[in-house]
Structure 1
Amino acid sequence: MIGKKMLKNKVLALSSPGGHWVQLCRLIPAFKASDVVYACTYNKASELSDDDGYYVIGDISRDSIHRFFSVTAGIVKILKKEKPTVIITTGALPGLITIFLGRLFGIKTIWLDSIANSEKISMSGVIASYLAHNCFTQWESLAGERIKFIGRVI
């Protein structure tokens, strides 16, 4: 493009630990053309290089909802500092909070429901289907009007 700067997407890739993180890491090759920063509820994982930007976020679940404000404040700090153009999350509640905040900040959002949810979409996934710009399931039988199936990451 002559006279215009090509803008590179800045991606915030965020998840809860365990299987959510494993699934997010399976997407790393898809991010190679973007500037990516990662966030999870535990210390930097071995899947990432020393050069990868990484944030530890507060953990929260239905059983620890009292942490809502502190977790939300931490995510807002990341969004303000990093200014991502896209948020992608594999869940769970920290990802849902980030999707909501991303919408408030005008950021494109993607929710990928966990492959572990093979019989029904997770509660967070159902809520995300109303909030996220794009919402995906990894099970074809669970796809619908707001939640699409385009394949599995595992």
Structure 2
Amino acid sequence: MKGARKRILLVASHGGHWVQMRRLAAAFAELEVHYVCTSSDVAAEVAPAPLSVVPDANLKQKAALIPLAIKTLWVVLRTRPHFVLSTGAAPGFFALLFGKLLGAKTIWVDSLANAETAIRLRRQGPTVCRSLVNTVGASGRARRPPLSRGCTMIFVTVGTQLPFERLVQAVDNWAARHPGEDVFIQLGQTTYAPTHCRSVAYTPQAEWERLFQQAERVVSHAGMGTILKSLDYGKPLLMMPRLAVYREHRNDHQVATAKQFGHFGNIRVVNDEQALGEALAEPLHRFAATDTPEGKAFSTLLNELKQFVQNHS
């Protein structure tokens, strides 16, 4: 590139969207990167790159969308990015909208989960959609991390944006029948109050990472952030997908995500309380550490992003 480096705004809400977006940052080493997230906990992770923090919001918090839109517009006006990339959620929607209106090239990466159709690049101008598969792994290198041993704590995490009463109550019922087990639940917006487990609504990112790494096994919704972390650490993961019929999410995309990753040796998909109990009773040695994919498609995605930036610089 000639002259000053081009600027890119990388935008994601905290959690799974953020984890996926960070995996794409390697494609923009030649750009001046500015991050936008809904949590200041990630500041140390991205330093020395600048981070702007915006409010979180979703369609169930419509009033919060207004301050989110205003703050996001201010960030876009202040940074004047040449490119805007998001991996989804409301902050990304507003950043892409305002960025496009101000002349930036915009890129939306929908998911790193769904093979065949779900991973798409949507670029300003003619829409370009390309299916990419097996885009798992922080760097695209195959690796086999050891399964954790020696800690008996079970860590349950349901994300930060939506409650998951069914999963939390199922775990609490299981803990009542197994009083010797140490279970710690990150509740998020769940209103059910466990009486047989330790619990907290939210934890700082560093504490969440510590609990995740120390746990003997992890129980979660089918969120991409948790799935990718479980593959990174070779952690036994029991995931219960949220179902739209119970109003646990806006659609059944977590069912598709669970189907995509259910074949990994360290992952079990459970759909009800009985299946959860059976999976928790399964011996740890049955949760075989799985090689993450070689990452050919992930490398292709990074190259696509690099090429897009070069073609518009």
What TM-score comes out, normalization by structure 1 length?
0.74
Q: Does 1:81 align with 2:78?
A: yes
- The 1-side partners of 2:114 and 2:54 are apart by 23
Contact 2:117-2:131 within 8 A present in 1 as well? no
**Which amino acid is 1:9 matched to?**
K
Contact 1:26-1:153 within 8 A present in 2 as well? no
Report the counterpart of residue 31 of structure 2 in structure 1. Answer: 34
- The 2-side partners of 1:149 and 1:118 are apart by 7
Shift of 1:81: 1.0
- The 2-side partners of 1:99 and 1:42 are apart by 19
**For residues 46-80 of structure 1, what are the alpha-carbon distances to aligned partners after superposition, in whole Å with 9 as ceiling and x for unaligned?**
4312x210011111111112112211110111111
**Mapping of 1:45-124 within 5 angstroms?**
45=42, 46-49=44-47, 51-117=48-114, 121=118
Q: Judging changes above 3 Å, is the alpha-carbon distance between structure 1 residues 53 and 73 closer, same or farther for their aligned structure 2 residues? A: same
Contact 1:39-1:57 within 8 A present in 2 as well? yes
Report the counterpart of residue 141 of structure 1 in structure 2. Answer: none
**For residues 97-130 of structure 1, what are the alpha-carbon distances to aligned partners after superposition, in whole Å with 9 as ceiling and x for unaligned?**
21111111111100001224568759xx8xx95x
Report the counterpart of residue 140 of structure 1 in structure 2. Answer: none
Of residues 4, 7, 10, the one that matches 1:10 is 7
Q: Which runs of 5+ in 1 are unaligned?
A: 136-144
Between the two proteins, the alignment pairs up a number of residues equal to: 135
**Which amino acid is 2:124 matched to?**
H
Report the counterpart of residue 130 of structure 2 in structure 1. Answer: 148
- The RMSD of aligned alpha carbons is 2.8
Q: Does 1:133 align with 2:94?
A: no
**Which amino acid is 2:85 matched to?**
I
- The 1-side partners of 2:78 and 2:136 are apart by 29
Q: What SS class does the counterpart of residue 55 from structure 2 fall into?
A: coil
Q: Which runs of 5+ in 2 are unaligned?
A: 138-313
Q: Judging changes above 3 Å, is the alpha-carbon distance between structure 1 residues 88 and 153 closer, same or farther for their aligned structure 2 residues? A: farther
- The 2-side partners of 1:39 and 1:8 are apart by 19
- The 2-side partners of 1:59 and 1:97 are apart by 12
Q: Judging changes above 3 Å, is the alpha-carbon distance between structure 1 residues 153 and 52 closer, same or farther for their aligned structure 2 residues? A: farther
Q: What SS class does the counterpart of residue 114 from structure 1 fall into?
A: coil
The structure showing larger relative contact order (alpha-carbon pairs under 8 Å, at least 6 residues apart) is 1
Q: Judging changes above 3 Å, is the alpha-carbon distance between structure 1 residues 62 and 120 closer, same or farther for their aligned structure 2 residues? A: farther
Q: Judging changes above 3 Å, is the alpha-carbon distance between structure 1 residues 44 and 133 closer, same or farther for their aligned structure 2 residues? A: farther
- The 1-side partners of 2:115 and 2:93 are apart by 19
